[in-house]
Structure 1
Amino acid sequence: MFDKLLKIDRRIIFIFVALALIVPMFLTITQHISVSPEVQIIYDTLKGLQPGSKVLMAFDYDPPSAPELQPMAVAILKYCFKNNLKVYIIGLWPQGPMQANMAIDNVISDPTFKDNPPIYDKDYVNLGFMSGNELVIQGMGSSFLHTFPRDYLGKPTHQLEMMKGVNNFSNIDFIVNLSAGYPGTVEWVLFAVDRFHAKLAAGNTAVQAPQVYPYVHAGQLSGLAGGLKGAAELEKLVGFYGKGTKFMLSQSFAHMIVIVFIIVGNAAYFITRKK
């Protein structure tokens, strides 16, 4: 019997893992989500903003990283629009502004915003992508209008109502950077925070998050959400449950399946070795 356990076809394991990932997507299971101090700081900072405050969101990721970062974006956007915070969107990655538009569409399709959907140039603007990496951040410290002469739709930014009185980081109350790599959170800390004294929080992939935790402890980051867990925590705090919570359930089931196979495999190995 134990010899058979050691010879399980790997395809069977793959099937179990696939089922563990797919089945929970169709289940409504309440799971306990504990909120980390780093994510709590993000929420507390957002909660402390007055209606009409300006939030800059930098979408520095592409579709492969969207499963982890898109739920964070949607949760933060929903909170901002619900509490009348003005959102300014940019991207240091070419696909970033597109991801932002998809997140906006998600918000608009939410029944909560059916009677009061976010309106372009009233509740949010998308300034689009600009090449140059950290040089873009440095340029924004001097002039948003010069750095982004046109928005995502091609309209001159000086004609946008929301850009009136917004010159540089001193006119922005809070920055949220959603990053999957370079350019991303590190560059925002080095230039927006260290040089222009902006207030910055970050959402990172699970792989990248450990690299930027030191910035939180040093006080350079006002909060950090890492991976699906961070997304689920944000959803819990803002009160809008979405894919972050759903994907977290699937991830938990998959982890349990892998752990079970590891335990069974090791137990079978030691038992057969004694024989």
Structure 2
Amino acid sequence: MKNLLDKFLKMDRRYIFFLVALGVIIPLIVPIGLPVDITKPVKDVYDAIDSLPEGSYVIISLDYDPATIPELDPMAYAILRHCFRKNLKVITMTLLPAGPGVAEMATKTCAKLENKKYGEDYVFLGYKVGVSAVILGIGEDIRIPFPQDYYGTSIDDLPMMKGYKNYDDTEIVITISGTNVPASWVAYAHQRYHVNVASGVTAVMAADFYPYLQTGQMVGLIGGLKGAAEYEKLVGVPGKAFVGMDAQSIIHSLIIILIIIGNIAYFIVRKSKKEGVG
């Protein structure tokens, strides 16, 4: 037993790397479907959207870049598909310079999956510089910051936008971001124009935004891959987050097991060596 534990402590780290690789690859190839519990902040976002009548306008600001795609893309896709399934009028945009490519891909992919038509069911406005200026401009008239859509078409030439002016016509703003942009949406859109704001953020940033839930300045919050998996479950479209949570859970369990075994082995081997010296 002592020899076995001693070998464990001296194990080549490449074996650990191999186990971790298996723990990631296997769930991605063969999803396990581990249980995902729904938390209140995520359910609140879902309920806020699900309760809207058909034809309601929603703004989805996809304020993230390629660096945070693994965490934020799954929640963006789940929210977009939820809105399209509810037959809501979806306005997407981004407040990050590196965001248009990511935002356009998410919008077009989800619209295609749900058979939605551009200009009638959704529009993509792209990026405009100046976070606060854009948010405040939409509060007066969306045509101030966005006289044209991302493709150069006049806003007034898009059938869906003929009945839309500003936040008074908006039921909810959803910002998905890996930065502090959600705080700007709260400060300039919610506080000044009283439009409901919900947010999806990376796991490391979620703690910074929970106070906004307590004060009622956000109607809900989706945090990280776990939150995205919860939303996918609510919408009924298991995707990358659901699969990713399988891999993440397995890796966390593997690391915990290795730490426990490693500590037990260390103390047993150390005790045996002391007894041998004695």
Paired residues for 1:223-242 under 5 Å: 223-242=220-239
CA contact (8 A) 1:56 1:172 kept: yes
Q: 2:76 maps to what in 1?
A: 73
Q: Greater CA radius of gyration, 1 or 2?
A: 2
Secondary structure at the aligned position of 1:173 is classed as strand
Paired residues for 1:1-275 under 5 Å: 1-108=4-111, 110=113, 113=114, 117-182=115-180, 184-275=181-272
Q: Which moved more, 1:9-18 or 1:253-262?
A: 9-18
Could you tell me which runs of 5 or more consecutive residues in structure 2 were left unpaired when the two chains were aligned. 273-278
Give the CA RMSD over aligned residues: 1.4
Q: How far apart, CA to CA, are the structure 2 residues paired with 1:185 and 1:157?
A: 25
Runs (4+) of structure 1 exceeding 6 A deviation are: none
Q: How far apart, CA to CA, are the structure 1 residues paired with 2:215 and 2:134?
A: 24
Q: Which moved more, 1:3-12 or 1:89-98?
A: 3-12
CA contact (8 A) 2:94 2:127 kept: yes
The percent of aligned pairs where both chains have the same amino acid is: 44
C-alpha displacement of 1:108: 4.9
C-alpha displacement of 1:267: 1.2
Secondary structure at the aligned position of 1:145 is classed as coil
Could you tell me which runs of 5 or more consecutive residues in structure 1 were left unpaired when the two chains were aligned. none
Q: How far apart, CA to CA, are the structure 1 residues paired with 2:15 and 2:152?
A: 52
Q: How far apart, CA to CA, are the structure 2 residues paired with 1:30 and 1:128?
A: 36
Flag the structure with higher helix content.
2
CA contact (8 A) 1:97 1:126 kept: no
